[in-house]
Amino acid sequence: MFLSDFDLHLIGEGRHLRLWEALGAHCEVLDGVPGVRFALWAPHALRVSAVGDFCDWDGSAWPLAQHGDSGVFEGFVPGVEPGALYKFEIETQRGEFLLKADPLARAAERPPATASRVVAPSHYAWGDAGWLAERRRRDPLREPFFVYEVHLGSWARAPGEPDRLLSYRELAPLLVEHAHRYGFTHVELMPVMEHPFAGSWGYQVTGYYAPTARHGSPDDLRFLVDTLHQAGIGVILDWVPAHFPRDDWALARFDGKPLYEHPDPRRGEHRDWGTLIFDYGRPQVRNFLLANALYWLQEFHADGLRVDAVASMLYLDYSRGPGEWEPNVHGGREHLEAIDFLRELNAAVAEECPGCVTIAEESTAFEGVTRPVDQGGLGFTFKWNMGWMHDTLAFLARDPIHRGHHLDQLTFAMLYEHSEHFLMPLSHDEVVHLKGSLLRKMHGDPWQRFANLRLLYAYQLTRPGKKLLFMGSELAPEEEWDHQRCLPWHLEEVPAHAGVGRCLAALGTLYRERPSLWRGDPDPAGTRWIDCQDRERTIVSYLREADEDRLVVVLNLTPVPRPGYRLGVPPAEGYRLVLNTDAEEFGGSGAPVGPLRLERSPAHGFAHSLVFDLPPLAAVVFEPLPPAAAAEESP
């Protein structure tokens, strides 16, 4: 036997942080003979055998020995080589025979095939040491954080081969170039863990430790991450600890009884999604998930995890009616075991992977999502601000003639801005399931819809909080996303769509280069309203400030030009136009904004005011000029 008593003790206690090194399939040498050591936790099983193409899938050939009452079975099969396909044959207490994929498999067959695959130890030569060292020193709360959300299977396809998925290695240079063009600091990959149904976009995971074979081998994924790191781009992985699918060859009723799922359907089933919920009170299940999180951060150098469906984990009555849920031991609706697990997760990531981030996709008013664990919070680095996304999109779907009556819908998020550390998403959630593309959500005729979309991106990139944009948004497509085909890249050649892309690229560059747009995110003083109550003209304006860097942002939320608009501003030698989403190069009207006049005339609580022509449905950004530049630009 290879597993030590200490390994078995840690597994039993649920504290084996490198569980993937203990369980699963591992190439070993025993008495000079190479082969594979198989190990599996299946405490309800009567018998477990390793089966595969190496034994013609005969369950009588290689039974595994049981380690006492640990529930762990282990055995060595000589002659098995990397690349071999395998599963575990489990005899249940009811006399059934189940054929199950390995929960700890580090590779699998390409779907729709379902076998696990033996992989050799990785000897990948990483080249991102500089990135990792710098990551440990960074404060993500005060760094630029602009995320490109990507589904690899539908992002791009091989030219002339629309049905062929690109490999991780083929995708690497393309993603680097694209991220640099638009100023993205990070790429977030929708789940790359193995999943049988492409239409789930990776969110129904069956192979938690196996990168999907659709794009290549585990080392190919390492190459993708490494390439992005060497180009200065971080990598976030979507991670799904909230639920798993019912496929009979995977985790469901793994050894003939509920094992990974909670045995009570009131806690163990997601009826809306048709999936099963992990039993967070079982130490070995918590261990499976906790080690899995560390596995992706340590073995694949990921910079963080975006944790999916956190809201469904926090509440026992999530999407359940009366009588369909069981209160906790205190009579409340909070899922105490799941909450403890999330705290344990974030504490472990902070301890074992300093510099890595965790991001909660959480849509409720649960307090302390990003508060540190030692202060009673859940300990996430960031929380998705789903409310901001929904409210902002609903506002821009309104006829501009009515927007002034609903201005609070746009500005409300600022009231709770510093209750958590937020990330502002414009994510895949809003462009799937017949919801329409972002462009289609905008109100008005075609020109107004494009103008509104540019305005939306400007508001997202200049307001406080980190940012996320789903792939394809840079193309402003008319149609919503379809996982079965790649993005409509031909839109880069269509003027109105290309203009949106150029506008987003300019905004991305501005965001990365100006500390005022990110360094002060955690501080209330980093953002100040100039005017958020102009309901008659429906114009919103605010300051972004950090150290000596300052920007003034003005949003005209109607298609009405405002000539001679007067805006109160802090004193300066002068002001310069930095960006105008109505510029002709972006597909706008190209109406002039200047000449700018700085006058000693009070407005909006300031002693000075800036007078300029405000274009229709536009965001304009100004910066104060240093004295020398002001002298050069004076008439």
Which residue did the predictor score with more confidence, 483 or 71? 71
User: Alpha carbon 441 to chain centroid distance?
Assistant: 22
Do residues 83 and 117 touch, judged by C-beta distance below 8 A?
A: yes
Is it the case that residue 506 has pLDDT exceeding 80? Answer: yes
> Side-chain half-sphere of 426: how many Cα atoms within 13 Å?
25
Is it the case that residue 378 has pLDDT exceeding 70? Answer: yes
**pLDDT band at residue 152, thresholds of 50, 70 and 90?**
very high
What's the whole-number average pLDDT of the chain?
95
Q: Which of 607, 611, 634 is nearest to 622 (CA)?
A: 611
Domains and CATH numbers, the chain: 5-117 (2.60.40.10), 186-378 (3.20.20.80), 524-633 (2.60.40.1180)
Which residue did the predictor score with more confidence, 634 or 153? 153
Set 89, 220, 238, 308: catalytic member: 308
Is it the case that residue 518 has pLDDT exceeding 90? Answer: yes
Q: Which of 377, 375, 388, 379 is nearest to 358 (CA)?
A: 379
Is it the case that residue 482 has pLDDT exceeding 90? Answer: no
Instruction: Tell me what the mean pLDDT of segment 477-506 comes to.
Output: 94
What is the C-alpha separation between 430 and 394, in angstroms, rounded?
Answer: 11
Determine which of 90-104, 283-297, 395-409, 419-433 has the lowest per-residue pLDDT on average.
419-433
**pLDDT band at residue 8, thresholds of 50, 70 and 90?**
very high
Is it the case that residue 75 has pLDDT exceeding 90? Answer: yes
Is it the case that residue 628 has pLDDT exceeding 60? Answer: no
Respond yes or no: is residue 361 known to be catalytic. Answer: yes
pLDDT digits (tens, 9 = 90+) for 123-135: 999 999 999 999 9
Is it the case that residue 160 has pLDDT exceeding 90? Answer: no
Respond yes or no: is residue 303 known to be catalytic. Answer: no
Exposure pattern of 52-82 as b/e (b: 16+ CB <10 Å)? bebbebebeebebebbeebbbbbbbbeebee
Q: What is the DSSP string of 336-351?
A: HHHHHHHHHHHHHHHH
Tell me what pLDDT residue 3 has.
Answer: 95
Structure-token pair, residue 67: 């380690």
pLDDT digits (tens, 9 = 90+) for 265-296: 999 999 889 999 999 999 999 999 999 999 99
**pLDDT band at residue 1, thresholds of 50, 70 and 90?**
low
Instruction: Tell me what the mean pLDDT of segment 376-391 comes to.
Output: 96
Cβ-Cβ contacts under 8 Å for 575 (sequence gap 6 or more) = 552, 569, 596, 598, 610, 622, 623, 624, 625
**pLDDT band at residue 484, thresholds of 50, 70 and 90?**
confident
What is the C-alpha separation between 88 and 540, in angstroms, rounded?
Answer: 62
Question: In the block, which residue shows the tokens 């799922």?
Answer: 261
CA quadruple 393, 394, 400, 405: dihedral sign: negative
| Pure H helices in 192-242 | 218-230
First to last CA, the chain: 85
**Could you say which DSSP state residue 622 is in?**
E
Vertex 473 angle, CA 467 and 477, to 5°: 165
Give the torsion through C-alpha atoms of 519, 225, 356, 514, to 10 deg: 0
Q: What is the DSSP string of 566-581?
A: EEEE---S-EEEEEET
What is the C-alpha separation between 200 and 191, in angstroms, rounded?
Answer: 10
Q: What is the DSSP string of 258-306?
A: -SSB-SSHHHHEETTTTEE-B-TTSHHHHHHHHHHHHHHHHHS---EEE
**pLDDT band at residue 85, thresholds of 50, 70 and 90?**
very high
Please give the backbone phi and psi of residue 228, each rounded to the nearest 5 degrees, phi first: -65, -45
By 3-state DSSP, what share of the chain in percent is helix, strand and coil, each rounded to 5? 30, 25, 40
Set 219, 361, 362, 521: catalytic member: 361
Indicate the pairing of strand 422-426 with strand 304-307.
unpaired
Structure-token pair, residue 343: 């705290």
Give this prediction's pTM.
Answer: 0.95
Determine which of 108-117, 314-323, 620-629 has the lowest per-residue pLDDT on average.
620-629
Structure-token pair, residue 384: 């998705």
Is it the case that residue 594 has pLDDT exceeding 90? Answer: no
Is it the case that residue 6 has pLDDT exceeding 60? Answer: yes
The percentage of the chain sitting over the pLDDT mark of 70, rounded to a whole number, equals 98
3-state secondary structure of 282: coil
Is it the case that residue 631 has pLDDT exceeding 80? Answer: no
Exposure pattern of 427-458 as b/e (b: 16+ CB <10 Å)? bbbbbeeeebbbbbbbbbeeebbbbbbbbbbb
Cβ atoms within 10 Å of 50's Cβ, excluding its own: 28
Tell me what pLDDT residue 634 has.
Answer: 45
**pLDDT band at residue 635, thresholds of 50, 70 and 90?**
very low
| Pure H helices in 397-435 | 400-403, 407-411
